[in-house]
Amino acid sequence: MKRVAVCCGTGAATSTIAMSKLKAYIQENGLKVHLTQSRIPDITNRQSDFDFIVSTIAVPPSIKIKTLNALPLLTNMGKDKFFAEFEAALKE
Amino acid sequence: MELKEVVHESIVKIFPESINQEEVLRHLSNLLLEEDYVKESFSRGVLKREREFPTGLELERIHVAIPHTEVEHVKEAAIAVGIVKQGTTFANMQNPLKSVKVHVVFMLALEKSESHMEILGKLMDMIQDDKILEKLIESNTASEVIQVIRNT
């Protein structure tokens, strides 16, 4: 099962929205994935714990693993494309 | 919890003139501090966070910003609203090198609790409605802004 980190800058606001939208999607579609809510500063040193990151903020160069832009989960713009990329990343 | 429960006339400001981002952020933080929703450290936290992790959101037509900081600086849930008539530049949340001309600033004083996150969710839903954003930027008084939010 893939491990995905759901992040933002402070770990409270936008990542919570992203988490709840992702959880709903995962349940609706019966996907198997382990989500962890976090902040970018905290996971920089534990990137190997995750398969990829979903982030509402731009990730710094210190983040080397695959990152998906989670803003569509906040703004609803480009949501379908996001979920398509998310499912593709789960299959990798 | 509803949006209208956390937005009050006392924390809404219309900025008719051209103004820079920092002034908007300071002004709105001061309103929140004066009304005792936040601690003194809140303003510094917001400015710092905006520099490190900007909060400009590029929507379809009218763009917004959602500045906020760590929950430890918040005393009571509130959202201050700034209507910037001439627009002001914020850096884009997803690409800090890109700037966004923002007309509505929602300064969030929220904690990690479920009800507060529920409010944030409702705010995110509201900003997806271009007509509501249009009404907000047309508002000329704090009272009009409150009416728009009450009617969503």
Residue B80 near residue B88, CB atoms below 8 Å: no
| Mean pLDDT of all residues in B33-62 | 95
Class of domain A2-91: alpha beta
- The minimal CB distance from A9 to the residues B49, B110, B112 is found for B49
B11-24: pLDDT as tens digits: 999 999 999 999 99
Q: Please list the pLDDT of chain A residue by residue as tens digits (92 residues).
A: 999 999 988 777 889 889 999 999 999 999 999 999 998 888 999 999 999 999 999 888 999 999 999 999 988 889 999 999 999 999 98
- The yes-or-no verdict on residue B145 having pLDDT over 90 is yes
* Domains in chain B, number: 1
Q: Domain of B57?
A: 3-150
Q: CA-to-CA distance for B13 and A89, rounded, in angstroms?
A: 44
Q: Do A12 and B121 touch (CB under 8 A)?
A: no
- Stated as kind and residue range, the H or E segment containing B118 is helix B114-127
Q: Is the dihedral of CA B25, B30, B33, B37 positive or negative?
A: negative
pLDDT value at residue A10: 77
Helix, strand, coil percentages, rounded to 5, for chain A: 50, 25, 30
| Mean pLDDT of all residues in B77-105 | 95
- The minimal CB distance from B120 to the residues A17, A57, A69 is found for A17
Domains of chain A, residue spans: 2-91
Q: What is the CATH number of the domain that holds B35?
A: 3.40.930.10
pLDDT value at residue B92: 93
Residue A14 near residue A8, CB atoms below 8 Å: yes
Q: What is the ipTM of this complex?
A: 0.82
Q: CA-to-CA distance for B138 and B42, rounded, in angstroms?
A: 29
Please check whether residue B49 touches A, CB under 8 A: yes
Q: Do B108 and A14 touch (CB under 8 A)?
A: no
- The yes-or-no verdict on residue B95 having pLDDT over 90 is no
